[in-house]
């Protein structure tokens, strides 16, 4: 009995275009909901989460000395063989890298170097805009790595930004916190 009623209901629905109507109300509702487009790069920019694995950076200790002890463990574990470390010994007899180069063109940003480091000297930071016209420019040396931005502190978000084409392709922003992008996602 109930199946007959169900089927009759379906037919009445079809005859009155109930399915079409619900489709049209849905698209009409979407029409006036806020778009989720992030206007990268000239208006807005995404701030990564702290877990984000971007460009590498080298850390310094409290005295400002480079933390890396040039053990070459990161170079060993790297699946892409893209780290090259040449050690030297300073006056106090501590090992440090004389040369520390990462070929980011080959790197797959797996983060294994960060995990392997015994001195907590290398990590993958928040920078993700370093495209280049030449793969040579993507080999980053020790001093550049020391100056790279560290881990992100904010938990994701969208901030106002501005495209600066003079200094290569850099998307600048001055805001530390943005709005939560997920707030515009409709979940029905």
Partner 1 sequence: MELLFALGLIAIKIALLIAMLLLLPLPLTWLERKIAGHMQQRMGPMRVGWHGLLQPVADGIKLLTKEDHIPAEADRFLFKLAPILALAPPFVVFVAIPFGETVSVLNAEITLYVSNLNVALLFVFAVIGLEVYGVIFGGWAANSKYAVLGSLRTCAQMISYEIPMGFAVIGVVMLAQSMSLVDIVRAQSDLWNIVYQPIGFFVFFVAGLAEAQRIPFDLAEAEGDLGAGFHTEYSGIRFALFMVSEYVIVLLVSVLSVILFFGGWNGILIPLPPLLWFALKVAFFIYVFMWFRFTLPRYRYDQLMAIGWKVLLPLSMANIIITGIAFT
Interface residues with ligand SF4 (CB under 6 A) are 68-74, 77-80, 82-83, 85, 102, 107-113, 116-117, 119, 121-122
Per partner kind, with CB cut-offs from 5 to 8 A, the member of partner 1, ligand SF4, none near residue 112 is ligand SF4
Q: Is-cis flag, bond preceding 41, omega within 30?
A: yes
Residue 23 binds partner 1 (CB under 8 A): yes
Residue 32 binds partner 1 (CB under 8 A): yes
- Residue showing tokens 């930071």: 125
Closest alpha carbon to 139 in 65, 72, 70, 83: 83
Q: What are phi and psi of 57, to 5 degrees?
A: -145, 150
Length of the chain: 188
Per partner kind, with CB cut-offs from 5 to 8 A, the member of ligand SF4, partner 1, none near residue 30 is partner 1
Per partner kind, with CB cut-offs from 5 to 8 A, the member of ligand SF4, partner 1, none near residue 35 is partner 1
Q: At its nearest, how many Å lie between ligand SF4 and the CB of residue 79? A: 6
| Element (DSSP H or E) covering residue 12 | helix 2-15
**Piece in contact with partner 1 (CB under 8 A), picked from 32-40, 111-119, 152-160, 174-182:** 32-40
| Cα–Cα distance for residue pair 103/122, rounded to 1 Å | 14
CA 57, 61, 63, 65 torsion-angle sign: negative
Residue 18 binds partner 1 (CB under 8 A): no
Closest alpha carbon to 179 in 146, 149, 154, 151: 154
Per partner kind, with CB cut-offs from 5 to 8 A, the member of ligand SF4, partner 1, none near residue 39 is partner 1
Per partner kind, with CB cut-offs from 5 to 8 A, the member of ligand SF4, partner 1, none near residue 140 is none
Q: Which tokens in the block code for residue 184?
A: 């515009």
Q: Which residues bind partner 1 (CB under 8 A)?
A: 20, 23-24, 26-28, 30-37, 39, 184, 186
């Amino acid at each position: 009995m109930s199946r007959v009623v169900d089927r009759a209901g379906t037919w009445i629905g079809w005859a009155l275009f109930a399915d079409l109507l619900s489709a049209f109300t849905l698209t009409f509702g979407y029409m006036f909901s806020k778009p989720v487009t992030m206007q990268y790069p000239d208006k807005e920019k995404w701030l990564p989460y702290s877990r984000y694995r971007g460009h590498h950076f080298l850390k310094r200790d409290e005295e400002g000395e480079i933390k890396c002890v040039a053990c070459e463990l990161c170079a060993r574990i790297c699946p892409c063989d893209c780290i090259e470390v040449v050690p030297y010994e300073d006056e106090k007899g501590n090992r440090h890298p004389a040369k520390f180069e990462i070929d980011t063109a080959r790197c797959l940003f797996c983060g294994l170097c960060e995990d392997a480091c015994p001195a907590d000297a290398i990590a993958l930071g928040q920078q993700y805009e370093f495209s280049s016209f030449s793969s040579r420019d993507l080999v980053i040396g020790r001093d550049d790595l020391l100056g790279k931005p560290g881990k992100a502190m904010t938990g994701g978000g969208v901030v106002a930004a501005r495209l600066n084409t003079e200094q290569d392709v850099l998307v600048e922003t001055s805001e530390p916190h943005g709005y939560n992008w997920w707030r515009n996602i409709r979940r029905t």
